[in-house]
Structure 1
């Protein structure tokens, strides 16, 4: 399956317009994913430009996609977490960039095809790491549910997932692991099911959504990576350059909003978006997954 074709990039045109792209510029896509945003940026900046795209999953940079983007511009792809973007750019001898974008959403490809435990609708190993080949020392969701304390698990479920039944679910996890290690998504879903009330299991949002989100964010230190990545590329951003960030849930959006507000209060940036840009009704009809997306943009002074 051609994932670049099946995955729909969210707010694609809005992102391209927000970056105020110019031919010959140097731009960063911190979250390559299926490559939709990178493709459009490459076309806009032409052969004189330079696009550097990051993703810590090396499988996304398949030969066909890389070749296609390279036909439009000078293209460098880096297998690295975007939290380390600044160090990677400096290593590439890139001292200044003209803009950067980050799509913080989990692509439908990662959800449905990765086999790494992101989806509660499939029975998969409970890894939840974005790394295609995690090292032995890397934390996975298996480690968290089997070895972290009940209090620590409840804290991340509440803090990263806004899970109202965090304590009950954490208690259920600790009880379940006393009889055997929890290793798969289906095992975790069943634990959540038996430790939440019946009415909670029939809402618009699947009852396991918040727990899975919280574990994924903890495994990948997503909030820490977001702040480190944005601040890092900002240091290399030329005056007048822009950073565009798409978030998909309130916890991410609060972080981005506060980070941009702090930069604005420090006199470092202009807020291009006073209120976030959200998908049009037309886009939502074509791609319902975009419903929670919010785009915020700053420009360096």
Structure 2
């Protein structure tokens, strides 16, 4: 099966629910202008295809830093003509891209499907997985002109304390100190250039008793190194507030996250906009303190048991969504 055929068969996580939320936002804001949805994590274009089919009046702007993803999605979505526009960028540039929309366009929604795409996981040479041997790359943007360091380059230069911090913070790895020390010892003997080498070093550093449960011992460390290589959490910290700022009143921001670090950032950013900022005891809530968003879901919505059975990668997904109900009030000087 070709990569293009695999893309067409791939079903994105919570596709129907995400489409429903964003279609409603398009109906709310699209009376006087063309509603635009930014798919901030285009991938192979599955969510975007569903949105273009469900909302015939909408345009989707698809962002991805991976040129391979843009090529595959572009072929898949070619039949929609100018209603789909692909942009090679990192998704913290949402504010700038929203500012470039046409005069008759309005930003009705932003969709984030965070983490590693199926394309990146399934392409062996990308080096995201510990389950097969491949070059130790892990970059979401692996183009020739990419300025991002590979995982191999990161591990060759990083200090042991820095690496321990990355494994602890981004992987929540309780053996971060032992693993960091083992990686530094190993690289002093021979450069770490493949996923198999790295997985073996991590495996050797984890106590035997800890390997009996919790899956592969390298799982958390690979996640942490991937996050560091791509600066994922730094980018997300900027991107969610930028999306909340850019979306029109009546529009929605919809976010799928897959681990607690991502979800914590999303929860905090949405929570700041959906609760009053008025000081306790203030007799009258001023406009500048009123919430500018309302939650569209009760907390984080998980996928159904049926969806997890059909798509095991959905198991850890959490969906959060909020609708903009008012613009930020400007304080009078």
| TM-score, normalising length: structure 1 | 0.93
Q: Which of residues 258, 261, 272 is equivalent to 1:262?
A: 272
The within-5 A match list for 1:199-238 is: 199-238=209-248
Kept in 1, the 8 Å contact 2:148–2:230? The answer is no
Aligned residues: 298
**Aligned-partner Cα distance in 1 for 2:237–2:6:** 28
Using a 3 Å threshold, how does the CA distance of structure 1 residues 175 and 135 change in structure 2: closer, same or farther?
farther
**Aligned-partner Cα distance in 1 for 2:110–2:144:** 27
Show structure 2 runs of 5+ residues with no match.
278-290, 326-333
Counterpart for residue 164 of structure 2: 154
Counterpart for residue 307 of structure 2: 283
**Aligned-partner Cα distance in 1 for 2:265–2:47:** 22
Is the counterpart of residue 86 in structure 1 residue 95 in structure 2?
yes
Q: Which of residues 323, 326, 333 is equivalent to 1:299?
A: 323
Is the counterpart of residue 189 in structure 1 residue 194 in structure 2?
no
Counterpart for residue 53 of structure 1: 62
**Aligned-partner Cα distance in 2 for 1:41–1:215:** 33
| TM-score, normalising length: structure 2 | 0.84
**CA-CA distance at 1:137 after TM superposition:** 4.2
| Cα deviations by residue, 1:161-194 (Å, 9 ceiling, x for unpaired) | 1111100000001100111211111110010011
Of the structure 1 ranges 199-208 and 282-291, higher mean CA displacement relative to structure 2 is found in: 199-208
Q: Aligned to 1:115, what secondary structure does the other structure show?
A: helix
Show structure 1 runs of 5+ residues with no match.
none
Q: Aligned to 1:131, what secondary structure does the other structure show?
A: coil
Is the counterpart of residue 14 in structure 1 residue 17 in structure 2?
yes
Q: Aligned to 2:255, what secondary structure does the other structure show?
A: strand
| Cα root mean square deviation, aligned | 1.9
Which structure has the larger Rg? 2
**CA-CA distance at 1:202 after TM superposition:** 3.4
Kept in 2, the 8 Å contact 1:7–1:109? The answer is no
**CA-CA distance at 1:92 after TM superposition:** 5.0
